Amino acid sequence: MIYGYHRTSTTDQHLDRGITEIETFCKNNNLQLEKIYTDQQTGKNFNRLRYQVLKEDILRSGDILIVTELDRLGRNKQDTLKELRYFQDKEVRVMILEIPTTTQDLSSLDNSMAKMIMETINNMLIELYATMAQAEIEKKEKRQQEGIEAKKARGEWADYGRPKAQKPSNWDEVIAQWEKGDISAVKAMELTGTKKTTFYKLLKE
């Protein structure tokens, strides 16, 4: 049986495009596609619900798995190659549309030397694409970290992630009473509606 798999990040809007690519390929090559499994999740690891269902419960020896691009399967090089070896051991054929040689049926080759050469080419291309996929995510993470460090340097870290705690409208008035000893810290927290950690954090600011 033939199955497709396509993954996008949660911010990617091309899930439908990937599905269409797989369906079109199968139609043009007279392949009977059973179903396409999809995840909208990061490609850093393989802990994805639909992928795990496909891998553990659906695919059987002799089946074909089609993906549009290698990084739609995964972005970590070593983990991706490990997954491909898993499918190879289970005799599940993986077709990667961006690597056309993987879509050719090598079992139909009579010449054993030609078959070995094609398999070597496939392995080299897969490793190259896996390297490129990991390099891309490492570059993205580096840019994100540089952006965070730049925000920290500018004192804008509070703009990143969790919003900065805002002082209540009566903050100055209540704190003035607290500083004079008219009210306790607990009472000041009550009047300003702040928790202990927030209260003292705002004091430091």
CB of 42 within 8 A of CB of 51?
A: no
**157-190: per-residue pLDDT in tens?**
655 555 566 788 888 888 988 888 888 888 888 8
Token look-up 């500083």 returns: 179
CB count within 10 Å of CB 20 equals: 14
Q: Check residue 117 and give its pLDDT.
A: 63
Q: Which of 64, 31, 36 is nearest to 50 (CA)?
A: 36
Cβ neighbours of residue 200 under 8 Å, at least 6 residues apart?
A: none
> Please, which pLDDT band fits residue 11 given cuts at 50, 70 and 90?
low
Token representation of residue 104: 């050719």
